Chain A
Amino acid sequence: MEKHAISRRDFLRYAGLAAAGTALYACAPIQAPTQAPGTPVKEAVTIEWWTVSSEEYNEQVQRDLAKQFEASHPGIKVNVTVLPESGFQDKMTTTLGAGQGAPDVAFFWDNNWFPQALDLRPFIEKDNFDTSMYIEGFWKTRALWGDVVIGLPLGVGANFVMYNKDVFDEEGVEYPSWDVSTEEWLELLPKVTDLEKKRRWGGDRPRGPFRAIWFNYGARLYSDDSKTVEGYLNGPESVAAYTWLWDLVASNTTPTPADIEVLGTEGTGPVDLFLAGRLATATLNQGHMLNAVNAGANFGIVPEPGVPGNERWVNAWSLTCSIWKGTQHPEEAWAFLKYWVGPEGQRFLMENGNLFPSIRSVLHEYKDADKDYVQAFFKVLELRQVAEWRMTHLCERTVKRAIKDVWDRINLMQIKRDEIKAALDAAVPKAQAALEECVVRLGS
């Protein structure tokens, strides 16, 4: 009887060869479909578009948008690359850093990428493209960079406070009013906190200083001419804002930063805690609002607490969509960019996805525009944007990093209430040094 037709060693050898062959075959670049004989050759320009899939526009909606564009622009093909949100930053930074292989059109959501964006002014002038259709605040903060137009703003987002109506009803507490003040907020939170039975906090804490609430107090990190920290960081408005934070932390009505680190969602806001009913109020955004709608949550919206008599501010944003400076096809890239971020594209993403457009006329066509929460969101968008200051003060982050210690110590209750002014005074020299170093580097 014949024992083996093939030895074990031979089998392993052939299997290895087959696997290597398969690997080599699979590594070959994907071939474009061949053209049918006799078809007239038409040169279509292909542009690369990198994007992410999100709650506002998923992968399929964006592919459909590209198809619709291609149908109306026969000479242009759009190669869509949908990347994971968590990897987009790394990939863009790598390709822009290498100066090769970056996409023709993409989100340029990181300010560090702005120098690599094509100046759109010649295209805008040539096409008489109406930039006034964009909501002014977002145009100013996300499309302009100095005198240069580095992109067009897609969609709008903002932080606001969402409150769980069921919790307020259960505790017999009145809903917060639109004009709720920081002091009223401190009185409100204990009434809806129940740590013992339900492990429920009344609200969350600001994620850092000199955001909307600091601006509501009238506090600024440094002078408008980017020269002085003294009298700003440690000025009475700033001290008042930090003192409010101290009172909030001391009230034991908010999760600690450690709680949020464990229970929050990777820096995107404590939406899951809110949806689970463990936060009676939370500072969230329009993406979270859509999550809450999908989850059937019973909620309302107010802006972040204000200070009576002072102007109300909001942390708001839009996504800058730009053309890479190194593109080989600027005309085609512009054609796609103005379609994607223009009225047609934003309407398409709104109707087929969940985008809140940055074009006022399109925004008001939103399907649920009559709903209370959408109306409230629209009202929030009209508030003055913190980004206005931030975009014209490039050293803000550097100086904030230098004074982070004060923030941490208040959150850990390592500073007494009456020591806040002294702590800020002590932080001034370090902040001033950081500002001066940064201004040399980035300008004022």
Chain B
Amino acid sequence: MTQKASVGTIRPRGVIRSPLLSRQTRRWLGAGITYLGMTTLAFFFMIPLLWMLSTALKARWEVFAWPPQWIPQEPHWENFREALTRYPFGRFTMNTALLVVANTIGELLSVPLVAYAFARLRFPGRRSLFMLVIATMMIPLQAKIIPLYALFHRLGMIDTYWPLILPSFAGDPFFIFLMVQYMRTIPFDLDDAARIDGAGTWGILYRVILPLCRPPLTIVVVYTFLWTWNEFLKPLIYLNDFHSFTIQLGLAMFRGRYSVEWNLFMAATLISVLPVLVVYFFVQKQLIGGIASVGLKG
């Protein structure tokens, strides 16, 4: 049933009716337009990935052909085989996965501890120390890499994974900052209540604070994964043995001195981004929620 609204009269909320479309139809139409818009946007965002796939299936001369060809004249599936067999990509992937796991464990162990101390404990020099930790974010890796290399060389750790893992057990300053900001938003009354119930400092951290810190912990896990997976410079500098290389070093091997085999490079890159896409697919809800909540409460 519809109700006509005359000019000049006040229409009560929720009773407006379109003369042509029912509520159900309007709802479907609205949803349809929304989905259509989002699908179109998603398609545009997918273009780079689709171009990668298209390039991966082309012969080399087709990559820069004019007019650009989305669908190769003849798909060269063997590019994927060539890309995966020219260098030991399985080994590189396993090496990278190992670093991801180790770094994630390191960050999860260290970041909450450090952040908890800065956010919840009172001790002299707390602010200065926190500023010092934050200040380390301002020094670019390129400026630190030579002294770091000299340090790890003296420790006999070059050509091992230690230089790539150990720093994560000291906590990444960005994650510490993020976690501190989040922990500061948790009411101190919870600590007091737990203390009255007999909990010590560790008990408060592990039983009260950490369970409430799922959003920033998700960010720590996902970003550690992404950063470790995509890291190029540090593995390059610290690793010598070809078989201990990571996936990004493997991808860089496709760039020759005088040219890049774009079709093979794209095939290998496409395969290398799959794990990242899969991880993002499964954790996107927590990741976006985490970033939003940290950002809002921080």
Contact = CB atoms under 8 A, between A and B. Distances in A.
B283 interface: no
Contacts of A22: 98, 101
A250 to B, nearest CB: 23
A85 B258 CA distance: 10
A287 B258 contact: yes
B210 to A, nearest CB: 13
Contacts of A199: 66-67
Interface in B215-271: 232-233, 236-237, 240-242, 244, 249, 252-253, 255-260, 262
Given A19-B105, A56-B257, A278-B66, A26 B240 contact: no
B146 interface: yes
A128 interface: no
Interface stretch (A88-96, A178-186, A203-211): A88-96
B207 to A, nearest CB: 13
Contacts of A85: 252, 255-257
Interface in B125-178: 145-147, 149-150, 153-154, 156, 158-162, 165
Contacts of A81: 240-242
A83 interface: yes
B149 A23 contact: no
A200 B66 CA distance: 8
A173 interface: no
Interface stretch (A216-224, A235-243, A263-271, A331-339): A263-271
A295 interface: yes
B27 to A, nearest CB: 41
B179 interface: no
Nearest to A294: B60
B102, B147, B154, B257 pick with most chain A CB within 10 angstroms:
B257
B162 A278 contact: no
A4 to B, nearest CB: 21
Interface stretch (A47-55, A111-119, A433-441): A47-55
A287 B233 contact: no
A27 interface: yes
A87 B252 contact: yes
A28 B165 CA distance: 12
Contact of A54 (B160, B161, B256): B256
Interface in A68-89: 79, 81-87
Nearest to A278: B66
Contacts of A55: 256-259
B180 interface: no
Contacts of A443: none
A29 B259 contact: no
A98 B146 contact: yes
A270 B66 CA distance: 15
B196 interface: no
B252 A86 contact: yes
A272 B256 contact: no
Given A84-B253, A98-B149, A265-B260, A90 B65 contact: no
Interface string B169-202: 0000000000000000000000000000000000
A126 B154 CA distance: 35
B101 A23 contact: yes
Contact of B249 (A30, A56, A87, A273): A87
Contact of B66 (A27, A98, A198): A198
Nearest to A53: B253
Contact of B98 (A23, A79, A100): A23
B161 A26 contact: yes
Nearest to A29: B160
B255 A266 contact: yes
A320 interface: no
Interface string A15-42: 0100110110011111000000000000
B257 A54 contact: yes
B258 A90 contact: no
Given A87-B232, A98-B146, A98-B150, A27 B259 contact: no
A308 interface: no
B101 A84 contact: no
A287 B105 contact: no
A285 interface: yes
A113 to B, nearest CB: 14
A22 B256 CA distance: 35
A83 to B, nearest CB: 7
B63 interface: yes
Contacts of A19: 101-102, 105
A268 B259 contact: yes
B242 A82 contact: yes
A347 interface: no
B66 A94 contact: no
A429 interface: no
Contact of B260 (A16, A82, A268, A295): A268
Contact of B262 (A82, A272, A288): A272
Nearest to B104: A19
Contact of A98 (B64, B98, B153): B153
B62, B105, B146, B156 pick with most chain A CB within 10 angstroms:
B146
Contacts of A29: 156, 159-160
A91 B260 CA distance: 21
Contact of B149 (A82, A87, A101): A101
Interface string A274-292: 0111100000010110010
A223 B30 CA distance: 75
A87 B146 CA distance: 15
A438 B101 CA distance: 49
Interface string A253-264: 000000000010
A324 to B, nearest CB: 14
Given A23-B161, A27-B102, A30-B244, 7 more contacts: A27-B165, A52-B257, A81-B242, A90-B233, A91-B237, A98-B150, A269-B259
28 contacts: A19-B105, A27-B162, A30-B241, A30-B244, A54-B257, A55-B259, A79-B240, A82-B242, A82-B253, A84-B255, A85-B252, A85-B255, A86-B252, A90-B237, A91-B236, A94-B146, A98-B153, A101-B153, A265-B260, A268-B257, A269-B259, A271-B258, A273-B64, A276-B63, A276-B65, A278-B66, A285-B258, A287-B257
